[in-house]
């Protein structure tokens, strides 16, 4: 690509001029700001000392040398210590001619030998997926697709938290209050039914606490001694001891949840290469803990609990096994990490988990290293911010969450209403319209969430996300559909996209050139998004591209252009733009319709 070739030319020029040994990574070379003339800007201050000249003199000297040695550097201008480099229109047209027909433009052409395991979703089987899970799933899936586009070997995994006290709370509430209710008898999805009893447990548990407090017990003692919580703890002990009745109940209720999860994953358009279950991995963690004890890396307290001392690392002592021998989250994460390393030998393990777990993953990495796992350096926590709603935060136990299924249903309904109001479905059949409503709804939802930097807490406003104007998924989808409409009209007139470059310099006006330059940036954006694990970079780039194309479309005729060569170039430029929009949106898990 032009920027990389230019960087190599700059390195060679500066090294020759000032007897240095720089590499491309030592340069500060970026796109020129719109208010200045130029395509790329080089910061020359780092070379001033070696050059023994003023910044302006240094920049001028480098610019003159670049023009002399690099055919595609047309000219330059200097503003203080900044060298603005102008790339010739011929070079931009050459790039266009080489790439406009490349269906996989932007994706790595060669496969890397680097393997990356990406864990996302990680739901609990005591409740349905909610809005927070939606961000997790969409982020994890998109990051995986972006890494694949960078040539990485990606393994997409899900760890289902299917055991523990929270699971037993739902189970116990169903036994006490369920009266044999099933998904079939209630008409509820299985995950929604189980979530109903998780909320019911909390309701009755709080009532018991109030009663105990009114009888004279301190609140903290009441929370520990309420009958329901004691029964739930006993149920957990029975589960870990393999009690048959408890295990059968657990299997039945989890099967309801898994079926519900699968339906929601399908609607969200996310998938996994492998699904782990905590019930199958937590014992591996116990084995690791025992080995750590034997090696003297871990220690046991008087009550029998096992800990790791991390005070020397600036943290604290971390519990790994409770006094009664039951495991904690950290225990199973240790075992699962070891299992994944043995299975895939990954260079990196990416955990897509909310930022409230930052401490947890610092501890996981440290404990594994103390246990002798040098590969633990490759553990990376993709820490993302929480999703909030205009009405405030969500609470699962109180039943105030926005379920993923309800959210998707609401988005589809809104998409249906908006498209009908705008009269966009006049020539659509019922099934075609239904599919379009779904694509617009999911495009709006995914884009609205993924356009925000993962590290930031975000406010999700469903109504704002479905808008055919502004920085939204539907705006980009509509731009793609607009281009497809142009292509259909061309086909009807017997005009096809060129198979090779057949036009000259006169085709490249300022609007066309701006669009070509923006298209050129796509591979670099995909690479940067992979390096930073940030789909937001792709999302906002695609919006800028759609916006730039719409300005071009507004200012220039395509099918009504009388000059055949210019018309052909604009048609090819539209085709290339549609390809990049499609490739970029695919990385976000978004389908772009051909008709809207």
Per-residue model confidence as pLDDT tens for the chain (596 residues): 899 999 999 999 999 999 999 999 999 999 999 899 999 999 999 999 999 999 999 999 999 999 999 999 999 999 999 999 999 999 999 999 999 999 999 999 999 999 999 999 999 999 999 988 999 999 999 999 999 999 999 999 999 999 889 999 999 999 999 999 999 999 999 999 999 999 999 999 999 999 999 999 999 999 999 999 999 999 999 998 999 999 999 999 999 999 999 999 999 999 999 999 988 888 888 889 999 999 999 999 999 999 999 999 999 999 999 898 877 889 889 999 999 999 999 999 999 999 999 999 999 999 999 999 999 999 999 999 988 877 654 444 444 578 899 999 999 999 998 888 877 666 788 888 899 999 999 999 999 999 999 999 998 888 788 888 889 999 999 999 999 999 999 999 999 888 776 667 677 888 999 999 999 999 999 999 999 999 999 999 999 999 999 999 999 999 999 888 889 999 999 999 999 999 999 999 999 999 98
Q: What are phi and psi of 15, to 5 degrees?
A: -60, -40
- pTM, two decimals, is 0.92
* Parts of the chain belonging to CATH 3.40.50.620: 120-272+335-388
| SS3 state of residue 178 | coil
d(CA 206, CA 212): 10
The dihedral of CA 210, 211, 216, 222: what is its sign? negative
d(CA 340, CA 333): 10
d(CA 575, CA 100): 8
- Specify the pLDDT at position 144: 98
d(CA 408, CA 415): 10
d(CA 14, CA 17): 5
- Specify the pLDDT at position 398: 47
Instruction: Residue count of the chain, please give it.
Output: 596
Q: What residues pair up with 295 in beta bridges, in sequence order?
A: none
d(CA 462, CA 459): 10
Q: In the CATH hierarchy, which fold is given to the domain comprising 441-587?
A: Isoleucyl-tRNA Synthetase; Domain 1 (1.10.730)
H-only helix segments in 424-534: 430-450, 462-465, 473-492, 510-520, 522-532
CATH class of 120-272+335-388: alpha beta
Element (H, E) at 171: helix 165-177
d(CA 465, CA 102): 31
- Specify the pLDDT at position 329: 84
Q: String of b and e for 512-534 (b: at least 16 CB within 10 Å)? A: bbebbbbbbbbbbbbbbbbeebb
- Specify the pLDDT at position 426: 67
Residue 158: closest CA among 281, 257, 275, 329: 275
d(CA 334, CA 306): 14
d(CA 36, CA 76): 11
- Specify the pLDDT at position 71: 95
* Parts of the chain belonging to CATH 1.10.730.10: 441-587
Q: In the CATH hierarchy, which fold is given to the domain comprising 2-87?
A: Gyrase A; domain 2 (3.30.1360)
- Specify the pLDDT at position 399: 47
- Specify the pLDDT at position 400: 54
């Amino acid at each position: 690509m032009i920027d990389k070739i230019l960087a190599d030319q700059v390195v060679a020029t500066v090294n020759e001029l000032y007897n240095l040994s720089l590499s491309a990574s030592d340069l500060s070379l970026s796109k020129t700001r719109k208010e200045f003339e130029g395509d790329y800007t080089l910061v020359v201050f780092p070379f001033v000392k070696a050059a023994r000249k003023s910044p302006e003199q240094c920049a001028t000297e480098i610019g003159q040398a670049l023009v002399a040695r690099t055919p595609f550097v047309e000219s330059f201008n200097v503003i203080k210590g900044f060298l603005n480099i102008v790339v010739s229109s011929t070079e931009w047209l050459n790039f266009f001619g080489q790439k406009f027909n490349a269906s996989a433009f932007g994706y790595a052409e060669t496969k890397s030998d680097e393997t990356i395991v990406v864990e996302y979703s990680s739901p609990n089987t005591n409740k349905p997926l909610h809005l927070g899970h939606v961000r997790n799933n969409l982020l994890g899936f998109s990051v995986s697709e972006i890494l694949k586009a960078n040539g990485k070997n990606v393994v997409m995994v899900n760890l289902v938290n299917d055991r523990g006290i929270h699971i037993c709370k739902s189970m116990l509430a169903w036994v006490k209050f369920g009266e044999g209710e099933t998904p079939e008898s209630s008409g509820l999805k299985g995950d929604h039914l189980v979530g109903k009893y998780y909320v019911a447990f909390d309701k009755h548990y709080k009532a018991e606490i109030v009663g105990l407090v009114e009888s004279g017990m301190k609140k903290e003692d009441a929370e520990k001694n309420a009958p329901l919580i004691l029964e739930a703890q006993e149920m957990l002990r029975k589960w870990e001891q393999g009690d048959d009745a408890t295990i059968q109940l657990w299997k039945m209720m989890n099967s309801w949840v898994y079926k519900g999860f699968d339906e929601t994953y399908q609607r969200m358009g996310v998938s996994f290469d492998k699904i782990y279950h905590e019930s199958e991995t937590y014992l591996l963690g116990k084995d690791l803990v025992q080995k750590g004890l034997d090696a003297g890396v871990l220690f046991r307290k008087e009550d029998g609990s096992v800990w790791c001392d991390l005070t020397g690392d600036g943290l604290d002592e971390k519990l790994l096994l409770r006094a009664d021998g039951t495991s904690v989250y950290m225990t199973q994460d240790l075992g699962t990490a070891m299992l994944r390393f043995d299975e895939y030998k990954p260079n990196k393990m990416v955990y897509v988990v909310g930022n409230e777990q930052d401490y947890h993953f610092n501890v996981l990495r440290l404990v594994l290293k103390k246990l002798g796992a040098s590969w633990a350096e490759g553990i990376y926590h993709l820490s993302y911010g929480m999703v909030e709603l205009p009405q405030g935060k969500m609470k699962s136990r109180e039943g105030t969450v926005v379920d993923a299924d309800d959210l998707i249903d609401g988005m589809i309904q809104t998409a249906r209403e908006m498209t009908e109001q705008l009269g966009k479905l006049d020539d659509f059949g019922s099934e075609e319209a239904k599919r379009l409503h779904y694509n617009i709804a999911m495009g709006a939802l995914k884009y609205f969430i993924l356009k925000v930097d993962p590290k930031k807490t975000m406010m999700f406003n469903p109504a704002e996300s479905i808008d055919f104007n502004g920085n939204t998924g539907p705006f980009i989808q509509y731009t793609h559909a607009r281009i497809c409409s142009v292509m259909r009209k061309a086909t009807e007139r017997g005009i096809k996209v060129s198979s090779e470059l057949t036009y000259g310099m006169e085709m490249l006006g300022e609007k066309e050139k701006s669009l070509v330059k923006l298209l050129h940036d796509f591979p670099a954006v995909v690479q940067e998004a992979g390096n930073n694990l940030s789909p937001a970079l792709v999302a906002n780039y695609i919006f800028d591209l759609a916006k730039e194309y719409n300005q071009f479309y507004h200012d220039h005729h395509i099918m009504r252009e009388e000059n055949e060569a210019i018309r052909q170039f604009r048609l090819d430029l539209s085709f290339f733009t549609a390809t990049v929009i499609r490739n970029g949106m695919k990385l976000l898990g978004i389908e772009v319709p051909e008709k809207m």
